[in-house]
Structure 1
Amino acid sequence: MRQQPSQQPGQGRTRQRAERRPRRIRRTVAAAGLALAAVLGAGGWAAADGQQAVTGPPPGTAAWVADTTLGLRLPDPATAAPAEVAAFFDRLPAAARESLAVRHPLVLGNLDGAPVRLRYRANEAALAEELGRELARATDPSLTPQDHTAARERAARYRTLLDGVRDGGRRFLAFDPRGRGQIAEVYGDLATARRTAVVVPGSDIDLRTFDRAGDPYGTPAGMARALHGATGGGTAVIAWAGYTTPVGVGPDAATETLAEAGAGRLGRLLDGLAVTTRPDAPATVFCHSYGSVVCGLARPGPEQSSGVVVLASPGLGVDSAADLDPRVPLWAVERNDSDWIGHVPYVRFLGLGHGADPTGPEFGARPLPATGAHGHTGYFAPGTASLAAFTTVALGR
């Protein structure tokens, strides 16, 4: 019998690595297949229409930039950093500030770095202007019956929000009617609160749905209201529906295009809060579902955020916590057993998926409990361990 040649040192390990490589490739391909199946709606997942991200400065910016009434060059919303905006308004007399809010409410209401109370007033005026515009469209004979119906629906929504401002003291830090609409509502007093928090939502949130009553803890308004109440009013909380979210669980939810656009807008919001509230206590950011992808891609630094909390997360668009700023604490909430997000493949392949599971011990996030939470949207419900943990984090303890 022919004797087999003796094996050289290292050859066994080389062969083992070569044998493992096809298995890794097969696992990667299989994971990609799962992600693609999810995107295409397999297993009962809902496909959705693609969304076009709303980006850039708000309507009316050209008129704002061209306005020389005050004899000053106004900060360009497209290029001026929030710190520059804040410095401009610090030098401006009160009467001049008010005049800008009257002439350019949509611009000033969305201008990060502008005084908070001035933005509240500007957004009230912008809501009133948009209400009038939609009421006119609802009876415009040159438009179709479908246009009239859509205008009446938008007018009804604007009227509800405006009544909330005038009768119920609601405060809106942003309002943009473009696309599906964007808005940010403040719970508490940003001027006096010792701490600030921002809630970043996931899919299916826009101007119409950010405060829907049927799912109180699944909307940014409901989450913010619950957190504000749990802190005893010690933290002002912003319900931020300030980016174009995916609709349903489809290609937009499985890719990062909308999250990348949202990350830039979130970064400007945090920069603005840093110069208009308390720079010694930057905001804690709570990121739900697809919102955690936005937060991961935003990569807030310590001057922007005191910490980031992700919950019901499909991934952060990064491989581990080490890819984020190590000076900003990252917490990940454990998933409850009835949260469907646990069935999402935690992969990134050919532009699909959002990376590793942030609740896994190897990811490197600090764990938070979720005892008592149910479903994908129950983490802010009163009595849950998750809300108690959020309260502790939001208060900076």
Structure 2
Amino acid sequence: MATAVIVPLSAAARPRIPAPPPASLAPPTPTTLRSTYEANRANAAEAARMADAHGDRSRAATDRWMAEPGRQLLTFDGRGPGQAVEVLGDLLKADRIAILVPGSDTSLDTYGRLHKAALALHDRTGPDTAVIAWLGYETPGTISTTALTPTRADRAAPHLRTFIRELRGLVGDSTGIALLCHSYGSVVCARAATDLDDIDDMALIGSPGTGADSAAALHTSARVWAARGTDDWIGMVPHTRADLFGTTLGFGPDPTSPSFGAHVFTAGPAGHSDYFTPHSTSLNNLAHIAQGAPSEVSHA
């Protein structure tokens, strides 16, 4: 507990990395999508210059990487831990869209891991499926009190909900949308999906729980999937929930438990960070979910 408190306080004491405010843009339309990408790349390039001037060469390198030609950024914010929403593939031509929602310890400084996962999924699904890496919130640290409470998820959920609705407005009703939610990201997805009819599938992988007692309690019309790799340490975390001095700790039942009521699929020997490993059982099944092919998913 001492470590959980000291680590976030120490991080908060570090100077925040300077960057311009995000580009002020209206929700993209088919005719403005390209200019949206261009504006956010320009913002990332300016963030790189500011980080360089600040002496943070590591962040400057990340920002420059994000600003490279061809990157398709729907949003970018280089301030502090940073946020970004990136598209792999063609949103306007895709039959299906998969949105990857990451868990704890994801920031611009570790964004490469999320990008690698999105790229692996896109390579597996092919051009008919677009993949979106959604780092649209400030994630908690794994070793912190924030990772034990729904506070960050409660803050993030309205942003994810708004993003999905704007995405639906961009691509129309005929395009299927799947949420693939990893670790703490499954708490974010559960909060955002309640009474949201714009998603078709939601997969919870390596989940500490969702804050709900069952799939039905999520109040979503989406098919709810769940999986945990046999080598994932999250299986050793107690799936409980308790109120302590007005704060909720824990997230309740394991989504892979029979009583939760999700469609449980196999993830093979995946560890907590291995669900998108190329050629793995977990990635193959996540690709089928992303493609809207439930009959191809192998069940546990």
Q: Does the alignment pair 1:227 with 2:138?
A: no
Q: Which amino acid aligns with 1:161?
A: M
Matches within 5 A, 1:168-317: 169-211=70-112, 219-301=113-195, 303-317=197-211
Q: Does the alignment pair 1:362 with 2:263?
A: no
What residue ranges of structure 2 are gaps of 5+ in the alignment?
Answer: 13-18, 294-300
| Paired-residue identity, % | 40
Contact 1:47-1:249 within 8 A present in 2 as well:
no
**If you compute each CA radius of gyration, which structure gives the higher value, 1 or 2?**
1
What residue ranges of structure 1 are gaps of 5+ in the alignment?
Answer: 1-38, 53-57, 61-104, 139-147, 212-218
What RMSD, in angstroms, separates the aligned Cα atoms of the two structures? 2.3
Contact 1:273-1:283 within 8 A present in 2 as well:
no
Distance 2:2 2:178 in 1: 35
Q: Which amino acid aligns with 2:239?
A: Y
Distance 2:5 2:204 in 1: 23
Distance 1:131 1:331, change over 3 A: same
Deviations 1:334-378 (A, max 9, x none): x2232110111111102100111100000011111112x331111
Q: CA deviation at 1:116?
A: 2.6
Distance 2:114 2:47 in 1: 23
Partner residue of 2:241 out of 345, 348, 351: 348
Partner residue of 2:55 out of 128, 149, 172: 149
Distance 1:300 1:271, change over 3 A: farther
Q: Which amino acid aligns with 1:338?
A: D
SS in 2 for 1:107: coil
SS in 1 for 2:90: coil
Match for residue 298 of structure 2?
none
Distance 1:127 1:237, change over 3 A: same
Q: Does the alignment pair 1:387 with 2:280?
A: no
SS in 2 for 1:48: helix
Distance 1:349 1:391, change over 3 A: same
Matches within 5 A, 1:18-57: 48-49=7-8
Distance 2:213 2:2 in 1: 24
TM (normalized to structure 1)? 0.66
Distance 1:40 1:363 in 2: 33
Q: CA deviation at 1:282?
A: 4.0
Q: CA deviation at 1:273?
A: 0.6
Q: CA deviation at 1:40?
A: 5.4
Deviations 1:8-47 (A, max 9, x none): xxxxxxxxxxxxxxxxxxxxxxxxxxxxxxx556xxx997
SS in 2 for 1:204: coil
Partner residue of 2:232 out of 331, 339, 353: 339
Distance 1:382 1:156, change over 3 A: closer
Distance 2:6 2:226 in 1: 27
Q: Which has the higher strand share?
A: 2
Contact 1:260-1:297 within 8 A present in 2 as well:
yes
Contact 1:279-1:303 within 8 A present in 2 as well:
no
Contact 1:196-1:283 within 8 A present in 2 as well:
yes
Q: CA deviation at 1:299?
A: 2.0
Distance 1:325 1:307 in 2: 13
Distance 1:268 1:282, change over 3 A: farther
Contact 2:266-2:281 within 8 A present in 1 as well:
yes
Distance 2:238 2:249 in 1: 10
Q: CA deviation at 1:201?
A: 0.3
Distance 1:154 1:383 in 2: 31
Distance 1:320 1:106, change over 3 A: same
Total equivalences in the alignment: 280
